Structure formats: structure tokens, C-alpha cells
Amino acid sequence: MDEKIVIAHRGASGYLPEHTIESKAMAYAMNVDFIEQDLVLSKDNVPIVIHDIYLDDVTDVATKFPNRKRKDGRFYVIDFTFNELKTLQVLERFNPKTGKQVYRKRYPKGKGNFKLHSFQEEIELIQGLNISTGKNIGIYPEIKAPEFHQKEGKQLTEIVLKILSDYGYKTQKDNCILQCFDAKELERIRVTLKSELFLVQLIEFTEETKNLKHFATYADGIGPWYKQILDKKVNGKWTFTSLVSNAHKLGLKVHPYTFRADALEEFSTFDEMMQTLLIEANVDGAFTDFPDKVLSFLQK
């Protein structure tokens, strides 16, 4: 894995509702290196490809099952069977309080007919396309909220590892990168569950970057928030924190999230973001909602 990799973040989610099978097929056709799956268990232990433990900001659950919310007002994936989840319509991400879609210029909320799907269904799509096209595009699953699943009496990690093994993803050579924000859980995956997969430690909070040496004892890479790589802008040029160079010294790959052409924040253009992080900061890959744009930048 020496070249910079492009990871379709929740699929080609800049163009189609996130984590739909359609957004995965679109990302596949763009020739990305990896397609991401965030994983949450259903009531009957089926890993569902969805970003949150909640359903109400990407589906019509509040209309279809108005009486199934918890005391906090949220609808949880884990309270619904796979068959029930299949009846929901997936919508472009929106704020459940206002009903307004989060990224205004993306796919219009409520149009089309998109459904939730299982991890196995997505693996079969990608492996099927790998056979029919002759390509070898990888998967990049994430174990979501392991502590929440444990409290609910669920073994998300064990279920995901078994599925990965059943579909032939067992070692670093098998074109699968497994990621998790929870450091204890990722370490458990390596040390206790003896996984030989390529493991990426996601980093949410900047203080966690102090633990890099420890991460290197069980992980092969890190997935930081891109802002943890940026230091300050001097005369129009970004300077960088030591995160990428320290990680590289420890042999860790660096795959920051999330490259969004329609939410630039620190940057004036998407080209500036890609040039700054992929070239000047020398990261090893990017999670992006716009894989076609990152691929075309890297080809240049």
C-alpha cells in the first residue's frame, strides 16, 4: 500500500444519499481504492451499513414507526429487525428537528427510492463487481460505537470479524482495512481476537494524538481529523503539526477524514485542500465524499 489511496466516504456520498447501495456502485465505477462501510447492529444481529446508531437523520422512520422512539426522542437501529429496517426509505442526511438537509446542494431529500442494506449485501456487491470488471476494489469497514453495543448485550466486533473471515478477508493482503474510533476495542481486535487485518485507529480528539506510540503497537495506520494535521497559515501557506511525520516514523499510514468539496472550512478551494494535505502534508490517503475529484487530482 505505497500509493496514496482514495476511500469513498460512505460511498460517493457527495452525489447520492450516504451508504446507499447506489452510492457504493457509483463510487465503484469511479475506480476508488476502497469503499467505506460504517456498521451498526440490528435487533436481530444483522450488521447494517449506516453511520449512526440512530435512524432519524437519514430515514423516514419517524413517519413509518412514530411510536418506536426511545425516551430521548431518537430512533435506534438496534431496536428494529432487519426486515423492519428494510421497509424504511433512506433520505439525504437531514436535521431531524428542522427537516432540512445538511448539505443543501447535494441529492434532493426524499427523491428516489433508497433502502438500508446489510454488510453482507454490500460485500457481495463489491466482490461481484470485482469479478465482473476484473478490478480489485477494497472494503474499509468501521466498528461503530462498540461500548454502546456491549451495553445493549451485542457483540458487533465478533459478528463483523466472522463475516469478514467468511468472505475471505483475513490478513493484510485481503484488501480490507478495519477501522474504529475506540482504541480499547481496536487493540482488543488485534491482541485478544488475534485479527491479522490491516487496522486503522481513528482519532477524534487532539489529545489522543499523544498516544501514537501505543497505537503503533497494534495498528497499521491512523485516521485523524484533517484539522489535527494543520498547524497555522503563514504567508498563505499551511504549516503542519508533527502528527504525520511522527506517524510515519512509527511506520503508521495516515488516512485523514473528511475531504468535502462543499464544506471547505479552512480552505478557499478543494484543490487547495488536496494540495495541502495530500502533497504538502504527505498523507497516505483520504476519506472523501467526492472520490472522482480526489482521483482526478491525484492523476494530475
In the list ligand G3P, Ca ion, none, the entry touching 257 (Cβ below 5 to 8 angstroms by class) is ligand G3P
Taking CB positions, which residue lies at the least distance from ligand G3P?
Answer: 257
Cell of 16: 447520492
Shorter beta-carbon distance to ligand G3P: residue 87 or 258: 258
Report angle CA 128, 133, 139 to the nearest 5 degrees.
55
Question: Any residues with CB less than 8 A from the CB of 179 and at least 6 apart, and which?
Answer: 140, 141, 142, 143, 186, 199, 200, 201, 202, 223
Distance CA 55, CA 61 (A): 7
# residues contacting Ca ion (CB under 5 A): 2
Say whether residue 258 binds ligand G3P (CB under 6 A).
yes
Say whether residue 221 binds ligand G3P (CB under 6 A).
no
**From the CB of 18, what's the least distance to ligand G3P, in Å?**
9
> For this structure, is 9 an active site residue?
yes
Q: Determine whether 244 is exposed, middle or buried from the number of CB atoms within 10 Å of its CB (0-12, 13-18, 19+).
A: buried
Active-site annotation holder among 51, 117, 149, 255: 51
Calculated CA dihedral for residues 114, 115, 118, 121, nearest 10 degrees: -50
Mode of pairing for the β-strands spanning 253-254 and 230-234: unpaired
Say whether residue 287 binds ligand G3P (CB under 6 A).
yes
Question: Any residues with CB less than 8 A from the CB of 249 and at least 6 apart, and which?
Answer: none
Report cis status (omega within 30 of 0) of the bond before 258.
yes
**From the CB of 287, what's the least distance to ligand G3P, in Å?**
5
Site for ligand G3P in 54-113 (CB under 6 A): none
In the list Ca ion, ligand G3P, none, the entry touching 223 (Cβ below 5 to 8 angstroms by class) is ligand G3P
Say whether residue 289 binds ligand G3P (CB under 6 A).
no
Binding mask 225-244 for Ca ion (x = CB under 5 A): --------------------
- Contact region for Ca ion (CB under 5 A) — 117-125, 128-136, 137-145, 162-170? 137-145
Say whether residue 18 binds Ca ion (CB under 5 A).
no
In the list ligand G3P, Ca ion, none, the entry touching 258 (Cβ below 5 to 8 angstroms by class) is ligand G3P
Say whether residue 238 binds ligand G3P (CB under 6 A).
no
Complete DSSP assignment for 98-136: T--BSSTTSSPTT-S-B---BHHHHHHHHHHHHHHH---
Say whether residue 142 binds ligand G3P (CB under 6 A).
yes
Residue 48 near residue 42 (C-beta atoms within 8 A): yes
**From the CB of 54, what's the least distance to ligand G3P, in Å?**
13
> For this structure, is 248 an active site residue?
no
Say whether residue 182 binds Ca ion (CB under 5 A).
no
Distance CA 143, CA 159 (A): 10
Shorter beta-carbon distance to Ca ion: residue 143 or 277: 143
Report angle CA 243, 172, 140 to the nearest 5 degrees.
65
Which residue numbers are catalytic? 9, 51
Positions touching ligand G3P (CB under 6 A) are 9, 36, 38, 51, 142, 179, 202, 223, 257-258, 287
